[in-house]
Amino acid sequence: MTTILSTQNIVDNKLEKLAKRVQKLKERTIRPKMKVVLVGENSASLVYVGIKEKTCKKLQCDFELLRLPHDVTRKEFLNEVDSMNNDPSIHGCFVQLPVPEHLQDIDVTSLINPEKDVDGFGGATIVDIYKGKTPFFLPCTPMGVLELLNHNQIEALGKRVVIIGKSLIVGRPLSLLLQNMGATVTVCHSKTQNLESHTLQADIIISAVGSPKFLTKDYFNKDLNQVVIDVGINRDHNGKLCGDVDFENVKNIVSAITPVPGGVGPLTVISLMENLVKSAERATKG
């Protein structure tokens, strides 16, 4: 029997706990506040930012979105990030990625005040992870994946983990975190030859490719009781949300698999909220 690793229960539980922490802060007249800078009209970014705003509101946290035109000047963009970094009412902030091409040579994630880096993309976080230390803010999607494994008592220690995707947001930090937990990690990417030769030998496969139903059943080994974590959020040819994994055809040959939607995505947003509340709590301690 395959376990479908739905995350609704974990999310509800975490929301309840976070609401209590927000209430405690409120008693001390602190209301956690997140600010997001969004440049241009990227449709996926608009959806993601909308979800973050909704979750903030649900938890009675403040949310501010600054939308800048796609042709904003570098100077204006940098000024806005700077003022967000220095605004004492803001506990967590970030620039929603990607930014338009003329800003892409700016190391945007390094611009964010490390005290407010609730995305967990900045240098301080990465250096900690690289050194095997736990950073104050864990990057949100890797944090969600680790929570999912932990909640379902899926051990990483000694396991062969294959991650597909080497992005700074998911693949790279997650590979280090899993190594820190004692997993043997292989990071595959778009130039990897014979991808299936890696996935067919893995105990845990984590996909962050961003290509609808890219991983067909040929990539999985029915004899290994594999765990499949699908980080992809894509649309299929009918416009329906789907992951990187061909869920319908894979689900019966693996031991556990995350659905899309309803898998890693909601845990990523909850992780962001956990980082925001943690940041606001730290601020009350001065």
Q: Position 111: which residue type?
A: L
Alpha helices in 210-263 (DSSP H): 247-250
Examine residue 97 and tell whether it contacts ligand GUN (CB under 6 A).
yes
Nearer to ligand GUN (CB atom), residue 119 or residue 274 = 119
**Stretch binding ligand GUN (CB under 6 A), from 23-31, 53-61, 67-75, 88-96:** 88-96
CA 94 – CA 34 distance, rounded (Å): 8
Known active-site residue 107: no
For this structure, is 116 an active site residue? no
Contact pick of 117, 119, 230, 246 for ligand GUN (by CB under 6 A): 119
Q: Which is nearer to ligand GUN, 96 or 226 (CB)?
A: 96
The residue (of 175 and 199) whose beta carbon lies closer to ligand GUN is: 175
Q: Are 230 and 182 in contact (CB under 8 A)?
A: no
14, 33, 116, 119: which one is catalytic? 119
Task: Build a one-symbol-per-residue string for 150-189: x at contacts with ligand GUN by CB under 6 A, - elsewhere.
Answer: -------------------x--------------------
Type and span of the H or E element at 186:
strand 184-188
Helix spans in the chain (H):
8-27, 43-58, 74-86, 108-111, 123-130, 140-151, 171-180, 195-199, 247-250, 264-284
Is residue 94 part of the contact set for ligand GUN (CB under 6 A)? yes
54 tagged catalytic: no
Beta bridge partners of 215: 245
In the numeric block, the tokens 């991808």 are attached to 195
- Give me the residues that bind ligand GUN (CB under 6 A), please: 48, 94-97, 119, 140, 169
Active-site residue set = 52, 96, 119
